[in-house]
Chain A
Amino acid sequence: MNDASAAPGSFWDARGLASWLFTIDHKRIGLLYLWCVLGFFIVGVSLGLLVRLELIAPGRTIMGPQTYNAMFTLHGVIMIFLVVIPSIPASFGNIILPLHLGAEDVAFPRLNMFSWWLYAIGAVTALAALFTGDGPPDTGWTFYVPFSAVTTTNVSVAVAAVFVLGFSSILTGLNFIVTIHRLRAPGLTWTHLSLFAWALYATAWIQLLATPILGITGLLIIAERVLDMGVFDPARGGDPILYQHLFWIYSHPAVYIMILPAMGVISDIIPVFARKAIFGYKTIAFSSLAIAFAGSLVWAHHMFVSGMSDTAVMVFSLLTFVVAIPSAVKVFNWVSTLYKGSIHMEPPLVFALGFIFLFTMGGITGLVLGAAGADMHVHDTYFVVGHFHYVIFGGTGMGLFAALHYWLPKVHGRMYNKRVATWSAIILVVGMNGLYFPMYLLGLAGMPRRYYDYLPQYTALHEASTVGSWVVVAGLALMFVNLWRGMRSGPRVGPNPWGAATLEWTLPSPPPTHNFPVEPVVERGPYDFRGVRADD
């Protein structure tokens, strides 16, 4: 990557492929992640588009049923494990966290490089699962037994890939926890930590505590397939429901690995563009930990119809309601911060507002699903698909885009076209509603998810959704072209284009390799804007 924007003395200076692949500079590792994540994101979006296109009309449109199953499985596996989970924590977490702490690097720079390598190996293995063996996996990203134990498609390789990716995620989380504990600059107390850092801290704990369970679950699937183990086979004393428990003990907390970092980004962006200290700093910081904790207790809300006892259903339903509270608290805090703030409507804020709107849409339907009675009706329908796309794409996706627009000037030292950026955000919000709102209606009307074909009465809503997917792609294309052009040839910016108060904005844009020439001494909070000036 030759980058014209690099000012001399910046971390871009070293040249050549090896200087990137074997770098131990957290900023470069973060960018490696970012490029991979964005690359896989484009692949995942393309697969999603094909699935949507197939569904534009009943019956066969562009592919057969087996291809369709493989397509949505790949779409899910790529999006969840290769894109969304590493998205913000591994990319922007790596780039920004040490800067927010006033540190030279993360605690274990070599381990950090190793994590990226594991991610790359996992990604290559996942791709290998597509092109080797007897066809790409067709189980859905949840790999439910017994089907995953008996299908002849390449499930073992895909699961092995997930295992390696999980290991990478664990090591990143471990590195961040130690970094936050050990490498804060003098004066940077826990209550002076940025909310992004707080969010990463809570996320890191979930990565550390939940991912090993996914690891063992994956190993057991491989053991079922390769060694004919029978742990989940009732004929041999096993139980397939146990698989679902183990899977969701990881995968529900994993949705907070996906969303908490995005919430952290939003919490950092809102006060900067409202020119106001964030309302309820401690509640926001604490609610991240509360989400991490409570979110670990609600996994079985994915299994209301799997045949648990009624008591279990009621308990998990109640717990699910409890976990919604800290998320709602954050939304109220953001809105209160904006209230009577002096608002600067810059692109990062526009994306943040899009996040709040879309995430709220998804969160409220989460409550509908968490109510066991309602879930009986809409479980495994398009309602669920709508719900998680609003939270994952509308939430984490918009959070990632907000982060891109907020920090790109810092990383590249250049600015994109702000008007175009704002338009791309608006098109995205419109497109996502067009794409996913019809899914709520489809689900309520009884359209099951993961079906290749459907009854004619669902046609109109499916058509609307597919058209929505094209609007989304238009928004994405506009946004990426604009970012690309800004990063190559946009006007140069100084150290602090937004007038933000966290430590990264005291460094030149782009920052030098060793971050802070002298270790900073911190005397102010991250949202204390007194005396902070945006450069003109």
Chain B
Amino acid sequence: MTDAHRDYEGAKLGMWLFLFTEILLFGGLFVLFAVSMARHHDAFHMASQQLDPAMGAANTVVLITSSWLVAMAVAALKLGQDARARALTLGTIALAGVFLVIKYFEWSAKFRHGLYPGSAELAAHPPGEAAYFALYYAMTGLHGIHVLVGMGVLGFAWWLMRTGRCTQGDFVFLENAALYWHLVDLIWIYLFPLFYLVG
């Protein structure tokens, strides 16, 4: 990250602090979820039945696999296997894309059933279900944006490796990108049971 002086520990510390702020960003939404769920326990239960756990589970597997790939990419780069590290990074980005495609099908199915904020269909349901879907779109949407950002960051890491600016001797950018990706994965691992399995 810096060029004036290469402080590996400092760069890692900075990244950890940043990840902490990301957790807090989602933290606000988790608090909203907890409060709303306590208030509308039954409605949350009903609403969550309408999600498709198979798709959610598939996406969980996709993300965990991608996290594993990027960890291998870091290991490869540290061993000096540049080409392998680049290929594994591309694999991670590809799986991120798969995640978004599955998400797209999931969301559009919900939209077809009229389950989106402000819809007439939801207005006919108990208010707790509307709250559930509002949070569902807010939280998975924000997570989706993070997936996109993660793809950008990993793509940038790939380009740095290609142009020889992220190497065996100076791998902190890839390592930090991988940390970011692990966080994106981790947040999903919380979202999945919360939305798909509480019911």
Residues of chain A having any CB pair with chain B under 8 Å: 24, 104-105, 107-111, 170, 174-175, 177-178, 181-183, 208-209, 211-213, 215-217, 219-220, 223, 227-231, 234-239, 242, 246, 249
Check if A227 sits within 8 Å of B127, measured CB to CB: no
Chain B residues whose C-beta falls within 8 Å of the C-beta of A174 in the assembled complex: 14, 17-18, 21
Tell me the smallest distance from the CB of A67 to a CB of chain B, in Å: 32
Check if B5 sits within 8 Å of A104, measured CB to CB: yes
Q: Is the interface of B mostly helix, strand, loop or mixed?
A: helix
Check if A213 sits within 8 Å of B28, measured CB to CB: yes
Check if B131 sits within 8 Å of A236, measured CB to CB: yes
How far, in whole Å, are A183 and B13 apart by their CA atoms in the complex? 13
Stretch at the interface among B35-43, B52-60, B93-101, B177-185: B35-43
Check if B17 sits within 8 Å of A208, measured CB to CB: yes
Check if A217 sits within 8 Å of B28, measured CB to CB: yes
Chain B residues whose C-beta falls within 8 Å of the C-beta of A236 in the assembled complex: 122-123, 127, 130-131, 134
Tell me the smallest distance from the CB of A300 to a CB of chain B, in Å: 14
Check if B117 sits within 8 Å of A237, measured CB to CB: no
Chain A: CB-nearest residue to B116? A227
Q: Is the interface of A mostly helix, strand, loop or mixed?
A: helix
Check if B135 sits within 8 Å of A212, measured CB to CB: no
Tell me whether B2 is interfacial, beta carbon within 8 Å.
Answer: yes
| Cβ 8 A contact of B24, one of A213, A234, A239 | A213
**Count, chain B residues at interface, CB 8 A:** 45
Tell me the smallest distance from the CB of A258 to a CB of chain B, in Å: 19
Residues of chain B having any CB pair with chain A under 8 Å: 1-5, 7, 9-11, 13-14, 17-18, 20-22, 24-29, 31-32, 35-36, 39-40, 43, 117-118, 122-123, 126-132, 134-135, 137-138, 142
Check if A230 sits within 8 Å of B18, measured CB to CB: no
| Cβ 8 A contact of A237, one of B3, B26, B130 | B130
| Cβ 8 A contact of A208, one of B20, B39, B122 | B20
| Cβ 8 A contact of B32, one of A111, A228, A231, A235 | A231
Tell me the smallest distance from the CB of A455 to a CB of chain B, in Å: 40
How far, in whole Å, are A182 and B20 apart by their CA atoms in the complex? 19
Tell me the smallest distance from the CB of B67 to a CB of chain A, in Å: 23
Tell me the smallest distance from the CB of A164 to a CB of chain B, in Å: 14
Q: List 27 A-B contacts (CB under 8 A).
A: A104-B4, A105-B4, A107-B2, A108-B10, A108-B14, A170-B21, A174-B17, A182-B10, A182-B13, A211-B21, A212-B22, A212-B24, A212-B28, A223-B138, A229-B117, A229-B118, A229-B134, A229-B137, A230-B117, A230-B130, A230-B131, A230-B134, A231-B135, A236-B122, A238-B36, A238-B131, A246-B31
Check if A212 sits within 8 Å of B17, measured CB to CB: no
